[in-house]
Homo-oligomer: A and B are copies of this chain.
């Protein structure tokens, strides 16, 4: 069968593929991480300040998380924002890196460790450099591509991993929000009122 004989997937079919892959990925998070999920939430909650860093779309995914943690009342900085200061003792760095070996992310995790900040790492490789530096590692097993012929995901590059980072971030927020005892009406006044 030649490519031209194959009907390209419609957007509806693409939605089904993505939804199915995400369902598998999210289901695997509990088994792979156990108590680490709640450990990560606690480390974030108890930190003086939360710093977030990822490269490319992993970084965009963490901006999603950053805004909600701000709504929750935490002191939050996205690395690269002009207002982001230095990390220090008692802070936490939340990073996301599929490979766990992105050079800039590893360096940042090392710096955080050096200054006695905690590191929470979301990665698809538990044996990676970032994992070794992390206080808590959250493993996204479903997004790990073992070789070029991987049938793990039909999506392009790290899309499944990046989508899972979005979901993990929102789950961490959801748990921390309800744990905080604050109502939605108490969070709302923190939403930006100057745009």
Contacts and interface: CB of A to CB of B under 8 A. Distances in A.
Sorting the interface of chain A by its residue count into under 10, 10 to 19, 20 to 34 or 35 or more gives 35 or more
For A13, A15, A85, the residue with the greatest tally of chain B CB atoms inside 10 Å of its CB is A15
Instruction: Tell me how many chains of this kind the complex includes.
Output: 4
Given A63-B82, A170-B163, A174-B14, A53 B9 contact: no
Interface string A156-178: 11010011001110111111011
Interface in A31-82: 37-38, 40-41, 51, 53, 55-57, 60-61, 63-64, 66-68, 70-71, 76-82
Contacts of A3: 181
A101 B178 CA distance: 29
A4 to B, nearest CB: 9
Contact of A26 (B19, B63, B68): B19
A107 to B, nearest CB: 8
Given A18-B174, A29-B15, A81 B79 contact: no
Contacts of A53: 194
A29 B12 contact: yes
For A63, A79, A83, A181, the residue with the greatest tally of chain B CB atoms inside 10 Å of its CB is A83
Interface string A170-195: 11111101110100100111111111
